[in-house]
Chain A
Amino acid sequence: NAGVIQTPRHKVTGKGQEATLWCEPISGHSAVFWYRQTIVQGLEFLTYFRNQAPIDDSGMPKERFSAQMPNQSHSTLKIQSTQPQDSAVYLCASSLTGKGERLFFGHGTKLSVL
């Protein structure tokens, strides 16, 4: 079991460009979560899917951020027109049912917007 896999590990974009981040949850896990980690803000919840359906996106910036889960084996987080303040480590996690058990995190994608 390779755990939660996130790609790429590092991504550098220019201001205004689009960034797509990928997450492969642990096989058999039905819940996928996205978090953002910065020094200043710490860990912030972004969005959450269960059985591929969006459950809670209350943490997502509304205008430029979107997340999809087209199948049970991967989820994407897309940031349009990236801004320097989007620079962060984006973390994906999965859990077995999404109803209250341990979260398993990937290594994260470090996004740097120049």
Chain B
Amino acid sequence: GQQVQQSPASLVLQEGENAELQCNFSSTATRLQWFYQHPGGRLVSLFYNPSGTKHTGRLTSTTVTNERRSSLHISSSQTTDSGTYFCAIDDTGYQNFYFGKGTSLTVIP
């Protein structure tokens, strides 16, 4: 199955700083999603982005499929961005998503 590596494992930022989260995967992915999970909360899909660049608000996701990597950029971080960000890959076509271990982000005021 897929191997999904996320880096860094954890990140602490001052409010207003930018964050760059990385996701590397072992084989060509047909589908990729980024998720956010607040402590104790549900997983929320941020981006469904198998290739290219997508934006929503302060978030930008860029996936380069043939290089087997994706990134999530958070600009002007806020304390409410704190939580864990997961990258998930499906290469089977059956939507059996493999998740990375996540990046834990803490934004301090």
Question: Interface residues, chain A, CB within 8 Å of chain B?
Answer: 3-4, 31, 33, 35, 42-45, 48, 55-56, 58-59, 91, 93, 95, 98-108
Contact = CB atoms under 8 A, between A and B. Distances in A.
Interface string B49-93: 000000000000000000000000000000000000010101011
Contacts, number: 58
A42 B90 contact: no
Contact of B43 (A44, A45, A91, A100): A91
Given A100-B30, A101-B48, A55 B86 contact: no
Contact of B90 (A59, A93, A100): A100
A53 B42 CA distance: 25
Contact-size category for B: 20 to 34
Given A100-B31, A105-B35, 5 more contacts: A35-B99, A43-B88, A100-B93, A100-B95, A107-B42
A40 to B, nearest CB: 10
Interface of B: 30-31, 33, 35, 41-45, 48, 86, 88, 90, 92-102
B34 to A, nearest CB: 11
A105 B98 contact: no
